[in-house]
Structure formats: C-alpha cells, structure tokens
C-alpha cells in the first residue's frame, strides 16, 4: 500500500495591508482584502502521516500538543479526509526554524504547511487556490503563505473565492524585513480573539470602508516599486489597525515603549533619505521594511535603539512547497 505521508514547508508572511476582522468567523472570511510578502529563510516544515491510529496527534518542535491547538489541526484534517474519502487519523509533526511568539506570525506558516502536506499525503492534487482556501480555514493569514513572493488575499464573496494569489514573484522587488524584537514570548491576546473584538471599535467601519483605496495604492506601489507611496500606505494601514485595536472593547494595546521608539527612529531615518518603513502585527515587535542593500545597515541601526533585544532578517520568500 502507498504510504499516505508528505512533508511541506512554508514561510511566514508580513502583511502590508492588514487583515483584521471577519464577516464569517467560522469560515474566516475577512471584512477586507490584504496584501503581504513572504519571509525567506524563515519556515515551518510539517510532516503528515495518515494511518491506523485511534486519534490525530500533533507535535510542535517535538512537544506534544493537545486541546485547542490540536482541535484546529483536526478541523483541517477532517476536510482533507472528507475530500479524499479516507477515515484514517494522522500524526502531524511540525518544526519552526524561528522562535514562536517572537512577533512572526507562526500560525500563518504552520497552517499553510499543514494544508499542503495534508492534501499531498492524502493524494489530493489540488490547485494553489484550493490549498490557499484550506489554509485560510486554519488561520486567515495562512492563505497568503501559499502563493509566492508578494501576495494578495482577495476577500471574495464566499468560501469558494476567498483565497490568495501572487501579484509579483520574489525577485520583482529586492525588499527585506528587519524584525526589531522588543519583547519575546507569547502575546496577550491572540489574533483569533482579536478579530472578534474588531467590530466593537467605532473606528473599524472607517478602516474597512477605506480598505479598497489602500489596497489599490499598495498593489500599485509594489508593481511600480514606488517606495515613497509604499512606505506611506503601509504605515497608515498599520496605524489604522492599531487604532482599531486600541479602541476595541476591551481595548488591545500591543505596543511597548520600545515599539514607539522604533517607529520614531524609522520615520527620522526616512527623513534622512534611507528607504525604510514600519509595520506592526498583533504584538509589540516592529517589522522594518527596507531594501536588501540597506538591510545590514538598518539591522545595525535597530540594534542601537534602546529596548531592541534582537533583529531577525528576511528577504522576499517563495511559495509553500513540498520537500
Ligand atoms: O491569520 P490571523 O488570524 O493570525 O490574523 C493575522 C492578523 C495580523 O497579523 C495582525 C494581520 C495580517 O494580515 O497578517
């Protein structure tokens, strides 16, 4: 009998136009589209084996995981089992080569690698769009870690057409991400709970209403490699998402004093002529986007900012792939 196993690898991604809030939480259908780039060199590698075992099991970096984490993985496996017509349970073993909880969205890489490994292990030969949709059901941003390079997740009208596509390959624009770590460890409120709070902010409606304009500006800035427009729109988008977070009920304040120190430093370096811009996810660490040429200099500058304990660096990454 053919072994029902496969291994896949996927990179995390950093959003330039953010996903914050769902119109359907169960299906993770977002209230706005989003744009991101994959982070090369950082990855989650996941091995899935279907077999005769009593239940699904999950190991992350060698440690067994149960409860909510395992339930979320089993939800994805159930869809794969149903589509492939198999009843077998799976062992899922996942390894990250970057620290979890360091402000890098580990769930994006994790669910993208799981979606690809599980479909391949079950013998399903699905197109990229279908694998992106499946990854979306585990974690919305995971849909964007399936295609290559610069990626847009179209909000779509339903489950069928809400998936991510590549808008430019990694070599299109030599950008890099320098992640200024100001606090390691797990974030206080995870994004799944955060999406639920988004509509409680009176600012969310305005953020969502303006999203098509920001998406268009960001998409065009990437295609035309227009850093000035790109910097202005990604900082605005990040600030708008954090304004929503800070005005939700209960309020979510992810920033630390060092977060703001990095934001101010980035703005002043840009004024001095350096091509840099910041964006911040649901945590205190700051993703500083710059050109690959400036990467080492930007990382060195960031290490001098008081409160920055480390800087992770990544160029633009490729698609999720089987290994
Ligand atoms: O995919 P989730 O549910 O972990 O949400 C991601 C939310 C942000 O990272 C804050 C924004 C984004 O678009 O990645």
Q: Ligand 1 centroid vs 285 CA: distance in angstroms?
A: 14
Q: Provide the CA 279 distance to its chain's centre, in angstroms.
A: 13
Domain ranges of the chain: 4-171, 172-315
- Ligand 1 within 6 A of 192 CB? yes
pLDDT of residue 189: 82
Q: How much is the average pLDDT of 114-131?
A: 98
pTM, two decimals, is 0.96
Pocket test for ligand 1, best of 11, 14, 15 (most atoms within 8 A of CB): 15
Which residue is listed with tokens 């954090």?
A: 242
Q: How many CA atoms lie within 13 A of 60 on its CB side?
A: 17
Question: CATH number of the domain at 172-315, out of 3.40.50.10320, 3.30.43.10, 3.30.70.890, 3.90.110.10?
Answer: 3.30.70.890
* Ligand 1 atom closest to the CA of 142, numbered from 1: 1
140 CB within 6 A, ligand 1: yes
State how far the alpha carbon of 41 is from the alpha carbons of 97, 184, 202, 211, 227, in Å.
9, 20, 39, 30, 23
Bridge partners, residue 152, by sequence: 35, 165
Atom of ligand 1 nearest to the CA of 108: 1
What pLDDT, in 10s, does the model give residues 220-239? 999 999 999 999 999 999 99
Using the mean position of ligand 1's atoms as its centre, give its distance from the Cα of residue 272 in Å: 31
CATH class as words, domain 4-171: alpha beta
The pLDDT confidence band at residue 192, using thresholds 50, 70 and 90, is confident
Q: Is the CB of 32 under 6 A from ligand 1?
A: no
Q: What is the mean pLDDT of the chain?
A: 95
């Amino acid at each position: 009998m053919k072994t029902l196993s496969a291994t896949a690898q996927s990179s995390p991604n950093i959003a330039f136009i953010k996903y914050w809030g769902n119109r359907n939480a169960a299906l993770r259908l977002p209230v706005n589209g989003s744009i991101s780039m994959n982070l090369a060199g950082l990855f989650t590698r996941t091995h899935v084996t279907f077999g005769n075992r009593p239940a699904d099991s999950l190991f992350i970096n060698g440690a067994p995981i149960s409860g909510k984490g395992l339930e979320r993985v089993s939800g994805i496996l159930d869809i794969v089992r149903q589509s492939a017509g198999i009843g077998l349970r799976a062992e899922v073993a996942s390894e990250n080569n970057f620290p979890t909880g360091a402000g890098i969205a580990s769930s994006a890489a994790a669910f993208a690698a799981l979606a690809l490994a599980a479909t391949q292990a079950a013998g399903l030969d699905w197109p990229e769009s279908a694998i992106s949709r499946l990854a979306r059901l585990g974690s919305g941003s995971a849909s964007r870690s399936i295609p290559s390079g610069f990626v847009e997740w179209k909000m779509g009208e339903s489950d069928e057409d809400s998936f991510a596509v590549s808008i430019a390959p990694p070599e299109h624009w030599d950008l890099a991400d320098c992640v200024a770590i100001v606090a390691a460890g797990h974030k206080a409120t995870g994004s799944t709970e955060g999406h639920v709070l988004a509509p409680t902010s009176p600012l969310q409606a305005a953020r969502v209403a303006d999203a098509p304009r920001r998406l268009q500006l960001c998409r065009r800035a990437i295609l035309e490699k227009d850093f000035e427009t790109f910097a202005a729109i990604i900082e605005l988008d990040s600030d708008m998402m954090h304004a929503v977070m800070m005005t939700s009920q209960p309020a979510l304040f992810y920033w630390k004093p060092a977060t703001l120190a990095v934001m101010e430093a980035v703005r002043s370096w840009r004024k001095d002529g350096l091509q840099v811009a910041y964006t911040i996810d649901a945590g205190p660490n700051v993703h500083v986007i710059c050109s690959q040429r400036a990467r080492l200099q930007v990382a060195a500058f960031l290490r001098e900012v008081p409160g920055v304990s480390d800087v992770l660096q990544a160029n633009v990454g490729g698609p999720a792939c089987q290994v």
